[in-house]
A and B are shown apart, each in its own frame.
Chain A
Amino acid sequence: MSILDLIYLVRGNLWRRKTRVLMTLGGVLIGSTTIILLVALGLGMQKNMTESIGKIGDLTTMTVQVPPECTLPPQQRPQQCKNAILNDGLIEKIRKTPQVRGVAAQVFLKGSPTYLRFQNMETNVVVMGVEPALLPSLGYPLGRGELKISANQVVVGPKVAEYMFDLRKNQPVTPDLDLLGAWVDLNIQRTSNREEADRLVQNEVRRLRVQVAGVLAETGGQSDYVIYYPINEVERWNRWLMGRPIRREVDGYDQIVVKMADTRSSASLDAALTSAGYSISTARKIIEQFNRFFMSLQLMLGGIGGVALLISAFGIGNTMIMAIYERTREIGLLKSLGAKNGDIFKLFLAEAAVLGLLGGILGAGLAVGLGELANHSPSNWFSQFNGLMSPTGTGIGGMVEVAILVIPEWLVIFAIAFTTLTGALAGIYPALRAASMQPLDALRHE
């Protein structure tokens, strides 16, 4: 019996039991829709997250730090930290690596905390010291102004002054400030314990008056919230803050930022530095980690959908068992007309598989339709949920247009193939039963 004949017979057999076929298809439809929507939801989350992370940093920018245990005071550091120091020697070595476009040491201003003061408003900020000549080579996207700073100039991230505290009104505000060209104050304070005067704690405050020379473009990443200040100034004030000279050869810099020509060479430098005992963070690494998380999420959601499909498989099995009871005489007749056991087996298996196929196609259609609806509905309540799921601090969820459900072609094809296979599997037992009936018994069945 050829495939075409099989299709011809199966079509006729299904058509004549429309109601029951539709009921069965309903079950499979729910299974396949569930599986697609759940996986699509996972994929949507993954896409949004990946896009958010993609904004944190260019994939070719990496930040080199020492492992956390190496930031302990020198006496308490483990042995292996001896070799992992962020000093000029390391910077030179990195600079000589092929495909390196820029490399610069960075040092945090260690005021705890540092306050930015503008007009009557204040907010705490992260001030990062960087060599002014190297700032343009590190791949920070400039929004407006210049990437050029001198002793009393800074380049600020776009969201540095997003939230501020109004000292006059005594309440938090979200001013929409344009700081370009403005003079702002950076207030730092040091706390010193004096033995005399009854162990009084005394705070000393310094006010650094700086002009904003440039504003970075928004990336969603760390640079949105950082103020870049010449490293010499930061070093000077760090000395004042800590009350002692800083020995770079021993303590090293806080971090080294490297800008590579492409992602492949950044991966190899990453590997080399990691094996030398440094700790590297790149957006790529974070993405990999999230991908691993989403892979398991995907499997879990797919598993739940799979259970729905399993239930519909019982529906198909039930329909087929009913069919062989009802059609016992017909099976006997077909055998008397020359059908082989294999023909009967194929016929019933194909019927079950077609039930799975049709249910899968309908379910995929429904899922795609629902996906369109959810993604294009004007008030998509899901965006808040997505906002929750985006990495802390980037805060872009809900503000950007988000695709809630991502339904790629492979998912649709996979789901349809899966329901078809499920149908066929559910049909094996009924088909075997039908095929192994004795022709005469079947024909005389009441």
Chain B
Amino acid sequence: MSMGDCGALVKERKFSEPMVIIRDLHRHYRLGNVVVRALNGINLTIYTGEFFAICGSSGSGKSTLLYLMGGMDRPTRGELIVAGQNLARQDENQLAEFRCRRIGFIYQNFHLIPSLTAWQNVEIPMIFNHLPRSARRQIAMQRLQEVGLLERSHHRPNQLSGGQQQRVAIARALVNQPALLLADEPTGNLDNSTGKEVVALLKNLVSINQVTVVMVTHDMNLVEQADRFVRLQDGRIVESN
């Protein structure tokens, strides 16, 4: 797949409220005497309601950028404001709170807990959000119905197909009604058609739930479906629209 294609489509910006504001963002790793500049001065604004794509070659810093937006990591320097919160200035507990209420994560390898059933996996974020047990079960079932897996609610991950597992993960990501959904190559472990289905589902759900989505992907078809995109190379944005 040629990365040069990933900016083929330009779409009109229809949104005004910024969800993510990034100014001169750096993330450096020290490995002995070598400094790896995973992010090297990123400037970016993502607006509420956008379906935003990040593409770029392997090692270009896509995941690093995504996890910084989700409060999973701290920038070396620069400004990082997500959903109105300045993440560079938050302590660990505040970041946990932020992840719990504002962010939904979707991963390439699903990250479901193998010993828990589908609905129990969906339930977990609500435990940390202090929802009572009865409400948790009801909401989990509702979310599973929305992703079309209600009848699979008592199955464990190893009894589900990859696409089904990713749909459980989507239900889990949306369960605390986050403002921002962060997906790191959500179709990377799925075949083409399943990937397409999952992305269609994702788009549908986010438009219903009015969530902003930032998705890291290699897949040009997905980039085409995004409202906007940026392309990273060596920790910098080299292309955007």
- Residues of chain A at the chain B interface (Cβ within 8 Å): 1-2, 4-5, 8-9, 12-13, 15-16, 329-330, 333-343, 438-440, 443
Closest residue on chain B to residue A341 by CB atoms: B92
Residues 120-159 of B, flagged 1 when their CB comes within 8 A of A and 0 if not, give 1000110111100100000000000000000000000000
- Decide yes or no: A12 and B97 within 8 Å by CB, A334-B124, A337-B125 being known contacts: no
Contact of A329 among B99, B111, B125, B129 (CB under 8 A): B111
State which of B67-75, B186-194, B200-208, B231-239 sits at the interface with chain A.
B67-75
CA distance A5 to B128 in the complex (A): 9
Question: Is B128 a contact of A336 with CB atoms below 8 Å?
Answer: no
B113 within 8 A of A: yes
B209 within 8 A of A: no
Give 28 pairs: A residue, B residue, CB < 8 Å, sorted on A. A1-B127, A1-B128, A9-B127, A12-B115, A12-B116, A15-B115, A330-B113, A333-B111, A333-B113, A334-B124, A335-B96, A335-B99, A336-B72, A337-B125, A337-B172, A338-B96, A338-B101, A338-B128, A339-B96, A340-B96, A341-B93, A341-B96, A342-B93, A343-B96, A343-B128, A439-B72, A440-B73, A443-B72
* Neighbouring A residues of B127 by C-beta, 8 Å: 1, 5, 8-9
Question: Is B92 a contact of A336 with CB atoms below 8 Å?
Answer: no
Number of interface residues of B (CB under 8 A): 26
CA distance A119 to B105 in the complex (A): 104
Question: Is B115 a contact of A336 with CB atoms below 8 Å?
Answer: no
- Residues of chain B at the chain A interface (Cβ within 8 Å): 67, 70, 72-73, 92-93, 96-97, 99-101, 105, 111, 113, 115-116, 120, 124-125, 127-130, 133, 172, 176
CA distance A354 to B130 in the complex (A): 23
* Neighbouring A residues of B92 by C-beta, 8 Å: 340-341
Question: Is B93 a contact of A337 with CB atoms below 8 Å?
Answer: no
Across chains A and B, which 5 residue pairs bring their CB atoms closest together, nearest first? A338-B100, A16-B115, A338-B128, A340-B96, A337-B125
CA distance A330 to B172 in the complex (A): 15
Question: Is A4 a contact of B133 with CB atoms below 8 Å?
Answer: yes
CA distance A4 to B130 in the complex (A): 11
Question: Is A338 a contact of B97 with CB atoms below 8 Å?
Answer: yes
Q: Most chain-B CB neighbours within 10 Å: which of A5, A9, A334, A343?
A: A5
CA distance A5 to B172 in the complex (A): 18
CA distance A9 to B100 in the complex (A): 17
CA distance A333 to B130 in the complex (A): 18
CA distance A435 to B101 in the complex (A): 20
Name the distance in Å between A201's Cβ and chain B's nearest Cβ. Answer: 95
CA distance A330 to B129 in the complex (A): 18
Question: Is A337 a contact of B99 with CB atoms below 8 Å?
Answer: yes
Question: Is A338 a contact of B67 with CB atoms below 8 Å?
Answer: no
* Neighbouring A residues of B96 by C-beta, 8 Å: 335, 338-341, 343
Question: Is B93 a contact of A338 with CB atoms below 8 Å?
Answer: no
Name the distance in Å between A156's Cβ and chain B's nearest Cβ. Answer: 78
Q: Most chain-B CB neighbours within 10 Å: which of A334, A341, A439?
A: A439
Contact of B100 among A12, A16, A329, A337 (CB under 8 A): A337
CA distance A338 to B98 in the complex (A): 7
Q: Most chain-B CB neighbours within 10 Å: which of A334, A336, A339, A343?
A: A336
Question: Is A338 a contact of B99 with CB atoms below 8 Å?
Answer: yes
Name the distance in Å between A316's Cβ and chain B's nearest Cβ. Answer: 20
Name the distance in Å between A433's Cβ and chain B's nearest Cβ. Answer: 15
Name the distance in Å between A354's Cβ and chain B's nearest Cβ. Answer: 16
Q: Most chain-A CB neighbours within 10 Å: which of B97, B113, B133, B176?
A: B113
Question: Is A338 a contact of B125 with CB atoms below 8 Å?
Answer: yes
Name the distance in Å between B119's Cβ and chain A's nearest Cβ. Answer: 13
Question: Is B128 a contact of A339 with CB atoms below 8 Å?
Answer: yes
* Neighbouring B residues of A343 by C-beta, 8 Å: 96, 128
12 further contact pairs, Cβ within 8 A, besides A335-B96, A336-B70, A337-B172? A4-B133, A8-B133, A13-B115, A329-B111, A333-B111, A335-B99, A337-B99, A338-B125, A438-B73, A439-B72, A440-B72, A443-B72
* Neighbouring B residues of A439 by C-beta, 8 Å: 72-73
* Neighbouring B residues of A438 by C-beta, 8 Å: 73
Closest residue on chain B to residue A13 by CB atoms: B115
* Neighbouring B residues of A9 by C-beta, 8 Å: 127
Question: Is A337 a contact of B124 with CB atoms below 8 Å?
Answer: yes
- Decide yes or no: A340 and B97 within 8 Å by CB, A5-B127, A9-B127, A443-B72 being known contacts: yes
Question: Is B105 a contact of A336 with CB atoms below 8 Å?
Answer: yes
CA distance A340 to B98 in the complex (A): 10
Closest residue on chain B to residue A4 by CB atoms: B133
CA distance A4 to B132 in the complex (A): 10
Name the distance in Å between A312's Cβ and chain B's nearest Cβ. Answer: 25
Closest residue on chain B to residue A435 by CB atoms: B92
* Neighbouring A residues of B124 by C-beta, 8 Å: 334, 337
* Neighbouring B residues of A342 by C-beta, 8 Å: 93
Contact of A338 among B73, B111, B129 (CB under 8 A): B129
* Neighbouring A residues of B101 by C-beta, 8 Å: 338
Name the distance in Å between A7's Cβ and chain B's nearest Cβ. Answer: 11
CA distance A335 to B103 in the complex (A): 12
CA distance A382 to B227 in the complex (A): 85
CA distance A440 to B99 in the complex (A): 12
Q: Most chain-A CB neighbours within 10 Å: which of B67, B96, B176?
A: B96
* Neighbouring A residues of B130 by C-beta, 8 Å: 1-2
Q: Most chain-A CB neighbours within 10 Å: which of B67, B105, B127, B176?
A: B127
Closest residue on chain B to residue A330 by CB atoms: B113
Name the distance in Å between B15's Cβ and chain A's nearest Cβ. Answer: 26
* Neighbouring A residues of B99 by C-beta, 8 Å: 335-338
CA distance A12 to B124 in the complex (A): 12
Name the distance in Å between A324's Cβ and chain B's nearest Cβ. Answer: 15
Question: Is B97 a contact of A443 with CB atoms below 8 Å?
Answer: no
Question: Is B111 a contact of A340 with CB atoms below 8 Å?
Answer: no
Closest residue on chain A to residue B101 by CB atoms: A338
Name the distance in Å between B153's Cβ and chain A's nearest Cβ. Answer: 16
CA distance A16 to B124 in the complex (A): 17
Closest residue on chain B to residue A441 by CB atoms: B73
